[in-house]
Structure 1
Amino acid sequence: MPSYSYRCRECGDTFEMNRPMAESATPAACPAGHDDTVKLLTTFGTVTRGGGPSPAPVAPPSGGGCCGGGCCG
C-alpha cells in the first residue's frame, strides 16, 4: 500500500499515511485532530547494485565534425 505525506496547515506537523491509491485524494486529518491538511508531493528513488549486466558501450559517431572528419590539421 502506498505511503502519502501530508502537512497540517494549522499546527505545521508533517505526517505520513498508508492508504490505497483509490483514496489518495481523500482528505486526511493530522494526528492532533486538525482537518486542514495538504498532501505533499514526494519523490522516490532507487539504487541498484551489481547483479545485472553492464550496458553496452556506445561507439562515437563516425565522420563529420572537426576532429572526426579530418578538418583539423
Structure 2
Amino acid sequence: MDRFWIKMDRRSFEYDHGVNSFIDFALKNEYLVNDRIRYPCLKCENMKLFEANIVKDHLFFHEFDETYERWI
C-alpha cells in the first residue's frame, strides 16, 4: 500500500482517498475485532478499536501516525 498520502494535508483529496483505501484494506483483510478496526491515529496510537466511520473521523481529526509501519 502506498503511504505518500499520510503526509498530505488532511483536507486534500489524496489524504481522503488514502484514508478510505486504508479502511477498505483493513475491512477486506480481516483486521476486525467484533466489526471494529484498530487504527494508527496520533491520539489512539493503534490501541483502540472503532467502527469504520469513527476510524475515518479520527484519522481526519487526529491525523494518521506517520511512523506506522505495519502494512501487510
Name the TM-score, length of structure 1 as normaliser. 0.25
Name the TM-score, length of structure 2 as normaliser. 0.25
Larger strand share, 1 or 2:
1
Larger helix share, 1 or 2:
2
Which protein is bigger by CA-based radius of gyration?
Answer: 1
